[in-house]
Amino acid sequence: MGKYTGKLLVSDMDATLLSSDHTVSEGNREAILNFIKEGGMFTIASGRMEPAVRHYFSQMTINAPAILHNGAKLYDFAENKTLYEKSIEEDRKSAIKRVYNELPEIGLEVYANEIVYVYRPCAETERFKTRSYDVVYGMPDKVWSEPWTKVLLIGERELLDKYEPVYRSEYDSGYCVRSGDKYLDVVANGVSKGIALERLSAILGIKKENVYAVGDNMNDIDMLKAAGTSCAVANAENAVKEIADFEVPSCNSSAIRYIIENII
């Protein structure tokens, strides 16, 4: 029995666990390893897909199933097994086609079977040139009949601020959430990081009062509400800070280490 036995810590990745240079700090790495050594369970909850999370395993250790695609998927990396996955409803795909035809300023990415399909490229899709996972530029006809885990609408913050309410009111009444300044994530109804955290806690048999969560953006709010103790990094959106139990140091100041050493 270690001092963290029975505790679950779940962290968002980008701008939370990861520093602004997209690395895991030495302080976070060491603290996570000690947390696990002392019986704690650590994992991530991210909008990222499976290979994009696996890429960071040289920098971080997790010992519980991960929440991926903003809650659309629960994946056990230790067993290489999907525990849960929910796809976007078929009748919502037409909204994405309309965005492509009617809103040419918006970049579009479709995630299906852990492959990224760049439906419409934009400045942000250039990031894939430095990634090693499967990216297809274009939308082959077969993809329209495959299950979609997530779609990203992409643009500069001002552009998405303008079109997000338009998309919600005129294109798709289903669930979508901002995961960053430049990203609007479209996922299935009944999907969120919070719902996934509740499912994960039940699988692990961990009570809510022993669940800790930390994040920075709008897609983390449901997760923070589902945790027994919630934390917002100093660089978080104000709406996230307002609902969190604690404000912790920024993503550039080893926030995870702070939570483990000072809160848990």
| Average pLDDT per block of 10 residues along the chain, 264 residues long | 96 97 97 98 96 94 98 97 98 98 97 95 82 85 98 96 97 95 96 98 98 98 98 98 98 98 98
Q: Indicate the residue among 186, 217, 252 that finishes a domain.
A: 186
A 10 A CB-CB count for 152 gives: 24
Domain-located, residue 22: yes
Name the token pair of 14. Answer: 């980008």
Name the token pair of 182. Answer: 């430049």
So what's the pLDDT on residue 89? 98
> Are 199 and 182 in a shared domain?
no
The rounded distance, in Å, linking the Cα atoms of 189 and 207 is 25
Name the token pair of 127. Answer: 């990031």
Q: Which helix (H) or strand (E) holds 75?
A: strand 73-76
pTM for the model:
0.94
Name the token pair of 34. Answer: 């000690």
> Are 181 and 118 in a shared domain?
yes
Domain-located, residue 139: yes
What is the domain extent for residue 43? 8-85+192-263
| Cβ(87)–Cβ(147) below 8 Å | yes
CB < 8 Å & 24+ apart, contacts of 141-144 = 143/110, 143/112, 143/117, 144/93
The rounded distance, in Å, linking the Cα atoms of 240 and 220 is 8
The rounded distance, in Å, linking the Cα atoms of 82 and 64 is 13
Of the candidates 252, 206, 179, 188, which has an alpha carbon nearest to the alpha carbon of residue 64? Answer: 206
- The number of distinct structural domains making up the chain is 2
So what's the pLDDT on residue 132? 65
